[in-house]
Amino acid sequence: MSLLTLVRRNLLRHPVRSLLTVGAALVAMFLLVFLRSVVTTLDDAVNQVSADRIVTQSAVSLFINMPESYLVQIQDVQGVESVMRLQWFGGVYKDPENFFAQFAVDTELFLDQFEECVFVDGQPEDWVADRQGCIIGRALAEKHGLKIGDTVPLLGTIFVQPGLKAWEFNVRGIYRSTRANLDESTMWFHYDYLREALENGGAEGPGGVGVYYIKKQKGVPTSDVTKRVDALFELGPQRTLTQPESVFQASFVSMFGNLPDFLGWIGGAVLFALLLTIFNTMLISAAERIRDVGIMKALGFRDGTCARLYVLESMLLVALGGFTGIALAWFSVSSFRKSFGTSIPNYNVRVETVVFAAVLILVVGLVGGMIPAWKARKLEAAEALRGDI
């Protein structure tokens, strides 16, 4: 009889206990991969931004607009290649629960600055040519069943049209993102469409620009540009805070508080609970099979063979549940993107995370079987058969 056959039969002696242990390993590894992936996704949103992009906002608050006149002044700053205006829109699509981000931007500059935006349907020139045109991420298109040529009505909450009339935008492009900093659940439309409506009395809302996105010239230190821009408006009328896009993105991640550390602690607790579960299962199993080990040794099985039996059992239990949990976490990425797309955009499971979890499975399985294995190795056949242990 092979060692694996013995392992299989021993596990089937108490199927409920074995299934519960496998289930614990499944849940633990699923949670571990998910929690670690949330942290790495947030990190990617900060670390994968373009090194050439700089963001200028009001020094008072991100919710305070800056004058339109800043555009020309920033363009004249040494080291600046281009300046794009960006304005949060905050419209409602059919129902307030259908929340997604909408931004008004200078379209041609957006296409130049955000090289990670790749069209999967539609043409960039069609978006540029249509003043009411918009582009949407593919996740947003899939969620609401939108396609090229559709009209997206948005009820303004910040920028309101007379009679609470809905703004209408024509879908001219669907994009995917090649980097985690640009999510695929956002809508982008013409800044001039919004500005002209405000100037012509076609809508009411705050004037000015929410954020200026600056593309610096190659080879120019970022710190030089940020200092020059802020020095330009040091005396007002609206002081500015200019910083690399990575720092700007990090400020949004910081809104979650110490979420990465908190998730890390949860992951550690989950791993510790799994280890205790395996220890408990294997120690109970070892206590029940003292006489069995004595019989095996009396029949000629070596001490090392009896010890390996427990280690293999422990590793098999953890592996069955753990690798199933990893697989579930891997194949549920699209579901999580739909559920958390607005708060954790571009959620993804890294290959490194899967490898890390797989190594943990092997380590936990090995450690969980070590104490029972050590006891089985030291056990004397005569003592076990007499029941003196």
Does the pLDDT value for residue 251 go beyond 90?
A: no
Cβ contact 76:283 at 8 Å: no
| % of residues, the chain, pLDDT over 90 | 47
For residue 82, the model assigns a pLDDT of: 96
Residue whose entry in the numeric block shows the structure tokens 């954020």:
211
Whether residues 266 and 181 fall in one domain: no
Domain finish residue from 203, 238, 273 = 238
Query: How distant is the alpha carbon of residue 6 from its chain centre?
Result: 43
For residue 280, the model assigns a pLDDT of: 76
Whether residues 40 and 64 fall in one domain: no
Whole-angstrom distance between the N-terminal and C-terminal Cα of the chain? 27
Q: Judge whether 184 lies within some domain.
A: yes
Instruction: Looking at 332-378, list the stretches that DSSP marks H as alpha helix, in order from N- to C-terminal side.
Output: 333-340, 351-378
Cα distance between residue 33 and residue 218, in whole Å: 39
For residue 294, the model assigns a pLDDT of: 60
**Mean pLDDT across the chain:** 85
3-state secondary structure of 71: helix
DSSP conformation letters of 151-214: EEEEB-SSSB-GGGPPEEEEEEEEEEESSTTS-SSEEEEEHHHHHHHHHTTS-B---SBSEEEE
Whether residues 185 and 42 fall in one domain: no
Does the pLDDT value for residue 111 go beyond 70?
A: yes
Domain that residue 323 falls in: 3-46+257-386
| % of residues, the chain, pLDDT over 70 | 84
- Residue 163 CB coordination number (10 Å): 5
Q: What is the pTM of this model?
A: 0.74
Tell me the average pLDDT across 333-338.
Answer: 80
Whether residues 140 and 198 fall in one domain: yes
Whether residues 191 and 117 fall in one domain: yes
For residue 161, the model assigns a pLDDT of: 92
How many domains is the chain built from? 2
Cα distance between residue 328 and residue 170, in whole Å: 38
Whether residues 34 and 67 fall in one domain: no
Whether residues 42 and 67 fall in one domain: no
Whether residues 39 and 65 fall in one domain: no
Question: Who's near 4: CB < 8 A, 6+ residues apart?
Answer: 312
